[in-house]
Every structure is written in structure tokens, then in C-alpha cells.
Amino acid sequence: MCEVIYNEGIQLKGTDLWFDAKKKVNLSFISNANIQALPPHDRIIATPETLKLIETKTSDSIALSCPYNRPFALGNAKIELIPSGYSLGASQIVVDINNKRIVYTGDLKIGDSPTSKFIEIRRCDVLIMKCRYGDPEFNFPPREDVCRQLFEFAKESLYFNYTPVIFIDIFGKSMDLIQYLGNKNLKLGIHKSIYRYLQLYEELGFEFNNAERLKTKNIRKKVLLLPLHARTAKQLELLNKKRTCVVTGLAKGNEKIVKSSFNVDLAYAMSNHAGYDELIQYVEIVKPKEIYLLEGQSVEFAKSLKSRGYNAKPIENQIQLKLL
């Protein structure tokens, strides 16, 4: 019998191992770099790329760098990290213990990305899965199609002497878009918070063309990329003519609401997270005996999986679940 405990993160009972713990613990697996604050864990396990992206947040922890597809032992458990497709360095953790296999996905994405490895999917007995977009309305178009639409938005804006402004996450899909637009010979002005990650990506071997850090005195004829929170950035006050858009998964089926909330002209649906169809595809490949769902639309997604014959339930705080 193996048990998993949920309490501000997930712990495998009988081991020191936690998954994405939100409070200080002895040993936590960190699935990706998209974290606002990292508790001062005694030890953390993550891929080298994730550790690079969060290096300013790990000074109080011993970091155990674990590349993809290199199994290692932790007590009586065998551990392996495999790509999740979510972003650069993002990973799932595979735990073989007591003749059972447990997979915790973290955030995941099925589909091509030029700046992250394609997802790897393993069969398992127990699946612990994040499902931000677990409702059928959230099926996203291919990333390449959305990038093409954003190129047309930028090119048309510049043609009519407007400055195109794109609000987007600080890394992940923003790096894909910067690479795409730069390769199309558009000149890009990148907000400092996004540019910091671009430099880290470059240190990890990626190349970006026509991308410079945004400077107040040099914004003419450039496409501006700003983080979602920077809608009142001082650079925008200097623009007499601008067209604005936001890139977020929330725009799928909610374009009018998102445009109003962000006070922009257009909204494009693109996400680093798996859409509903991708989540279903993942489960259909894995065919686990038990599924526990985290975050987002876990209640809705549990209902969908139950209708397909799976034993699925959302995990709630402070409950202990017996696995198999």
C-alpha cells in the first residue's frame, strides 16, 4: 500500500519526497520555473534548465540537478524526470515504489514548441495530474497558427504607423513568440522582466533575432512585448498611436471579457497549459488505475473522466488518499 498526502503540496508517505510543495519541506520536486516564490526547502530536485531559470530563488536550498531520462534511487524508490512539454526544463516525475508506478505531471502541454522538449508519456498505476483547463470549451488552436495571427497583427499595425503592443507571460510561450517574430524580421522591444528570461534562454543555447531590451527612447517601428502586469508601463504613455493585444489561454471562448479585463484591442488564445483535448489524450494513452486531479478545473475534468470509465477525483486540501 502506498499513500499520498496533500497539504500545500503532495507527499509520498513513507518517503521524504514532495511534489511542488508550497511550504518548506525536506525534499521537494520542482516541476517547472513558473513559480512566484519558492519556499526555502532543505533540498530540491529539478532539471538543470529549471534550476537555471529559478537560480535567484534557490539560495536557501541544496539543488539536486537531474537531467531528463536519467533514473536514480531515492531510498526504496526509483525516480526519473521526463519532459512535460510545458516550458523549457519543465518535467514530470516518475516514481517506481513498492511495485507500483506513480506519475506526477506538474503542468503539461502536448504539442510542438521550439523552446521546450516534446512531452514524454509513461504508463502508470497512479496518475497525479494538474488540469488548469479541464472544461471542454478550452481546446486551443496550434501555437503556430496563433503566432501567425500575431505576426499579421504586428505587421498591419506597423504599416498604418501604429505601435503594436503584446501583453504575454514572461517566459514559455513568450520565448516561442519572440523567436517566431524575430525570425520574420520584425524589430522587437522586450520589457526587462521578459528580457531577463530571454538572456537565460540564450545562455542555455537558444538564439533570438531582432530582440532588444525595451528602451523608452527607442520604440519607434518596434513590436513591444510586455508582461501581463505592465499595462500601465511608462513606455506606453509615450505612444500616441498604438494597438494592443493580450495572449492568454483565458481568451478561448471569452474574448470579449478578456479584452475588457485587460483593456486591449484584441485577445489571442494561446497557452502553455494543455487544453481539454490534450488532457483527455494524455489520460487515454496512460490508462491509469487511479487519477487524482489538481488545480484549475479539476472538478469538471473529474466528471469527464468518470464518464469515460476512469476512477478520477480532485484532490482537496488536508485529505489523505490511499493509492491502490
Residues near 160 by Cβ (< 8 Å), separated by ≥ 6? none
Query: If you write DSSP's letter for every residue of 128-149 in order, what string do you get?
Result: EEE-TT-STT--PPPHHHHHHH
Give the model confidence (pLDDT) of 195-204 as tens digits. Answer: 999 999 999 9
Give the chain's mean pLDDT: 91
Give the model confidence (pLDDT) of 263-313 as tens digits. Answer: 999 999 999 999 999 999 999 999 999 999 998 889 999 999 999 999 999
Q: Is the pLDDT of residue 324 over 50?
A: no
What pLDDT, on the 0 to 100 scale, is given for residue 234? 67
Give the model confidence (pLDDT) of 180-220 as tens digits. Answer: 999 999 999 999 999 999 999 999 999 999 999 998 777 88
Set of cell numbers at residue 223: 513590436
- Contact (CB, 8 A) for 194 and 171: yes
Give the model confidence (pLDDT) of 87-118 as tens digits. Answer: 999 999 999 999 999 999 999 999 889 999 99
Longest CA–CA separation in the chain, Å: 66
CA 253 – CA 137 distance, rounded (Å)? 7
Threshold 0.85, pTM exceeds: yes
What pLDDT, on the 0 to 100 scale, is given for residue 322? 45
Spans of all domains in the chain: 2-137+273-323, 143-268
**What is the separation, in whole angstroms, between the first and last Cα of the chain?**
6
Counting every residue written for the chain, the total comes to 324
Set of cell numbers at residue 144: 503556430
Residue type present at position 23: K
CA distances, 55 to each of 42, 63, 84, 138, 284 (Å): 15, 9, 20, 33, 36
CATH 3.60.15.10 for domain 2-137+273-323, yes or no, is yes
Average pLDDT over residues 43-70: 94
Q: Is the pLDDT of residue 319 over 80?
A: no
- Convert 124-149 to b/e letters by CB count within 10 Å (16 or more is b): bbbbbbbbbbbbeebebeebeebbeb
> Which CATH architecture is the domain 143-268 placed in?
3-Layer(aba) Sandwich (3.40)
